[in-house]
Amino acid sequence: MLWCRRGVLLVLCVCPLTCLLLMSPCPPGCCCPRAGFLVLCESLGLRSLPRSVPLSTSALSVARNQLCNVDHLLRRFSGLQELSLSHNLLPRFPRGLPPSLESLLLQENRITYITSGALRQLGNLTRLDLEDNRIRAIQPGALEGLNKLQVLTLKGNKLTTLPLNLPPSLTHLDLSANCISVLDLPSLSPLVNLQVLNINSNCLRSVPESAFDRLPRLRSVDLAGNLWACECDILYLYRWLLNGRMKMATDLVCSEPVHLAHRLLLNLSVVAICPRVLLTPNERTQQLHTNSSASGGKRETAKPNSFGSNFSEQISKENTSLTFLKDAPRTRVLLDHFSLETLTYDECVSLNETQPVSPPLLKTTSSLPDEEQKYRDNITARYPPNNATSAEETLPLRSTNRDALWPTPNTQLLTQQEDSAVIIALLAVLCVLVSLVMLAVLLVLKKVLLQRRRVAPLDAGSGG
């Protein structure tokens, strides 16, 4: 009996509280599809938070208002999981937010920086949207404690570098429409769970060596709209794009140098991008001396890259630009189907490792004229296929291809002489044809004049 009385009293006490929570009033002008859980107070011109928001609210949106300060006004909402403060006038990251937050939307405010302690209590965040603010700097360690953060959007700000200490839990990172000029490996390499990276519309000129190789789960990258310098430093990105292992935009447009501006990166050959790939050691030394003298005695050293430097080392083993061998059927087949534009670095290294050592059939001189070097830069033609099997047939074919691709000064002189002879012959034929036409015209005129002389006396006699 006593137990029954206690049960009745408990029900009488709990029921009013439950009814009060379920019938919590909705703030004036707000929309509460689930009273006490979801509250939407958007586009109301609010300058402060509504006072009658139920404390049991788990999702609150006060977007598109005129809020300037909400510091420490939301801490009492201990069960709040989703909060939208977008499209307001907040000048800094709000303080005193409840630790229970999992999604925080702050896009289109006036935030200029993120301090190291601003997000210290928000360890449960999985999504943070700071798009279209005025953020110039994020202090080191500001994002370090967000061990559950998966989606971070910093699009449309004024960042010049990647934020430091990004949480390894990130799967989506949007840094587009900023002023980032360098991809820092210390900031990028810890993101082992990153799947989507958007860094388009920035100021990138190149990508560091092996930058994306350290991101095993990366499946989508957007790099369009940057200031790509199509020079030797971009060869890693060039090779990485050719692999085509993931979904991404490959229509990257060159901004520099001037002669390659507005051209698609993947439409260029390796030699056009980095002419020194095919230089011999003597030529590279001469080029370095030229650069050092032009820069006032400061010697410039070329930055190593896996495609350019290693490729040059393989080629210069025999002190020659390229060496074609007699006894290399595998090499011959591959060279017939590949060019520098399509041949990857790994394939090239495997070819060099399988080639036997034999005397070179064709060598180039240690120094090249400027015209020949420019001619090399624009080589994109493929080697024509050949079905010959004998060594005697292979030698003249390789020599012919070599001369066709990289003509020597003697070949150029002979070609110019042949062209001159052809032009002279054409002019001579043209002169003969013109003379024959003129002669025919004169003969016709002579006949006409003679005919008129004969007719004229007859007409005069008949008139008398």
User: What local confidence, expressed as pLDDT, does residue 167 receive?
Assistant: 95
Q: How far apart (Å, rounded) are the C-alpha atoms in residues 262 and 394?
A: 40
User: What local confidence, expressed as pLDDT, does residue 291 receive?
Assistant: 52
CB distance 235 to 270 below 8 Å? yes
User: What local confidence, expressed as pLDDT, does residue 293 receive?
Assistant: 54
User: What local confidence, expressed as pLDDT, does residue 283 receive?
Assistant: 53
Structure tokens at 102: 């999992």
User: What local confidence, expressed as pLDDT, does residue 46 receive?
Assistant: 94
Residue type, 265: L
Structure tokens at 329: 């059927």
User: What local confidence, expressed as pLDDT, does residue 9 receive?
Assistant: 43
User: What local confidence, expressed as pLDDT, does residue 227 receive?
Assistant: 95
- Across the chain, what does the average pLDDT equal? 74
Structure tokens at 206: 């190149």
CB distance 77 to 98 below 8 Å? yes
Entry field: residues in the chain:
464
User: What local confidence, expressed as pLDDT, does residue 334 receive?
Assistant: 40
User: What local confidence, expressed as pLDDT, does residue 397 receive?
Assistant: 35
Q: Which residues of the chain have pLDDT under 50?
A: 1-23, 294-295, 297-345, 348-349, 352, 356-409, 462-464
Q: What angle do CA 8, 9, 13 make, to 5 degrees?
A: 120
Query: 120: how many CB neighbours lie within 10 A of its CB?
Result: 14
User: What local confidence, expressed as pLDDT, does residue 249 receive?
Assistant: 66
